[in-house]
Structure 1
Amino acid sequence: MTFTGVSQWFTRLLCKNDSKKYPCFSMILSLSSSSSSLSSAIELNSTMKKLIGSRQYKQVLGLFDRQFPMCTDVTFTLALKTCGKLEDHKCGVRIHQQLSLKSLQDPFLQTLLIHFYMHCHDVDQAQKIFSTIKEKTVYMYGAMFKGYISNNTPEKFIDLFEKISVEIDEVIITILFNACAKLCDSQAIKIGKDTLNRLPISFLQNQKLVDCLCRLDMFDEAQTVIDDYEKSNSPSLVMYTAMLSGARNYHHVSLSQKLYDRMRSLFLNQHSDLISAAILLSNTYASQ
């Protein structure tokens, strides 16, 4: 039986049976189909996407290496994303080094490289790439900010945020408040308050904002957000729960009791949520 015949036999077997029962057969089949000559970069990228979808990451990288001559920027993107999922720093560096000078100027690939190195905890390399980019986008800043938070360096986030040269979006604002909450020093609180005064009206109705403010001990500001939100929306259990949780963390007993009483009047029929709120309240009293 030829190699093609073996492949067809495996295909018929997997069609008749659940492929999950035969993981080794499934892997062999994918390898054999991937190894065959692909006629175009579009077909190559499509095959890689399918392998990523089935979490066959090593096969993706093997296919990338075998079909390298026909690789496009899309192919490099898929390969780098796969390295990130595997946290394969060495392979990602190799792929980075194979990028052409033109590709290295592509904003999407630049952002992806920052994501990759941050994901692999190589903060220095991510910073190096970011520093060489002349026209920085909000997505590049977002990649840096997320990377600083995931690598537990919120102070670097704050430093970069003060130098930001593009208009910030809601994602970055949320990350900012999370970073401020982690630091919770005088500088972080000042930045949080200054940013709050510059926020667009649309974001002032973002439920996540209440949680961020409460973690900064900015309960008056959080209450103002809730009041403004309720002018055009029904009361939000998420907002009140976030504020009650924050009050627990800062041991604000009277505020916790006030919030719980308010929740009981607003969400009378949501019994399980009120039980959780009662537990938060009792924990606040117990912390005294």
Structure 2
Amino acid sequence: MFSILISISRHTNSKYLTHLRTIGNLTKINVEVEMKKLNDKQQYTKALNLFDQHEHQLILTDRLIVQALKACSQLGHLERGQIIHKKLSNNLLDNNYVQTSLINFYAHCGRIADAQRVFDSSNNKTLIQHGSMMKGFIKNRMPEKAIELFTSLANPDSVIFCLLFNSCARVQTTTALDIGRKVWSQMPPIHYQNKYVLNAALDMFIKCGDLSNAEKFFAQIKHTTNGYAQIMTCYNEQREPMDTINLYEKMKKEGVHPDSIIFLLLINACAQHGVESRARSIVREIPSSMLTDRKLQNSLIHLWVSATP
């Protein structure tokens, strides 16, 4: 009889422990899911509060930490994120997802040296980690460091190429432009079909003043209002206002609708070239809803004042 009771007791305890583990796992999964939902809805305070409520009841996983650090990043809660960082086990500290989240967190909070330390501590750096570190350098106004980091990569992907071109566009030196040109010429062919890579390269050539290559790139990409604005900006900076005006005619033929930025660039081009009659016809095409734009108003005043004999 006694052995039967022991058997029943063991069976009951086993079922009870299994039940507890199941509840624990469900709770952990539910918290992860709910935190992600809240972060996706940009309800970062609620996501972090949920983490705080359950932190001591759960086994911390990489997914929980990723969501908690994301909330801290968006809220700018540096100290809270640092506390989470200090509590991490060695296994979590070696986790690529957690490392990437820590890099993003510190970079977002302006602690680029801390982000660099996390990056350097990784023994198996992924492309995503390299991308996060490059983004961190760019965000913290250190594009030269992003370019330097790029040179250590053997097989960059499209995201990395975009970040490199973005960095070169921000540096705007002959050296940066030369690096960008070289990278572009040596990229695997598949990346030439990526519209984001093309747009990033176009932006680089425009901001670095390489008008010849900018025009070639513009011919390869789908023409948008923003793309036209980029090229027009380059023409105006290179003192080629008639090219801006002629490009506007092409824009109209293609059915691409101008915005206030396009009209601002056109007015500035007319002011450069001194073509009052052309300016008047362009002004007549500006929708009345755009005439409330302060920059547009100031440019029009400058145009008419400069045109006055």
What TM-score do you get using the length of structure 2 for normalisation?
0.69
Report if aligned partners of 2:203, 2:230 keep a CA contact under 8 Å in 1: yes
Identify the match of residue 184 of structure 1 among 159, 172, 180. 172
The amino acid across from 1:43 in the alignment is N
Within a 5 Å distance, the mapping from 1:1-288 to structure 2 comes to 40-53=27-40, 55-68=42-55, 69-70=57-58, 71-162=60-151, 164-205=152-193, 206=195, 207-208=198-199, 209-227=201-219, 229=220, 238-248=226-236, 250-253=237-240, 256-265=241-250, 267-268=252-253, 270=255, 272-273=257-258, 277-284=262-269, 286=271
For 1:66, give the aligned amino acid: Q
Closer/same/farther in 2, CA of residues 54 and 220 from structure 1, 3 Å limit: closer
Question: How many Å apart are 1:197 and its aligned residue?
Answer: 1.0
Partner amino acid for 2:53?
Answer: R
Query: Distance between the aligned counterparts of 1:226 and 1:61, measured in 2?
Result: 45
Report the RMSD for the aligned CA atoms in angstroms.
2.8
Distance 2:169 2:26 in 1: 53
- Measure the CA separation in 2 of the matches of 1:243 and 1:53: 35
In 2: Cα distance, 1:148 partner to 1:190 partner: 20
Correspondence for 1:17: none
Deviation string, structure 1 residues 172-207 (Cα, Å, up to 9, x no partner): 222222221221122212211111212344443535
Output the amino acid matched with 1:247.
Answer: Y
What one-letter code is carried by the residue in structure 2 that aligns with 1:193? R
Contact 1:45 1:74 in 2 (8 A): yes
Structure 1 unmatched ranges of 5 or more: 1-36
SS at match of 1:280: helix
Q: Detail structure 1 runs of 4+ shifted over 6 Å in the superposition.
A: none
Contact conserved, 1:170 with 1:203, CA < 8 A, in 2? yes
- Rate the CA distance shift 1:173–1:287 in 2: closer, same or farther, 3 A: farther
Relative to structure 1, is the Cα distance of residues 52 and 236 closer, same or farther in structure 2, using a 3 angstrom cutoff? closer
Which 5+ residue runs of structure 2 have no aligned equivalent? 1-23, 274-309
Give the number of the structure whose alpha-carbon radius of gyration is greater: 2
**How much does 1:93 deviate?**
0.7
Distance change (3 Å), C-alpha of 1:271 and 1:52: closer
CA shift in 2, pair 1:38/1:149, >3 Å: same
**Number of aligned residue pairs:** 244
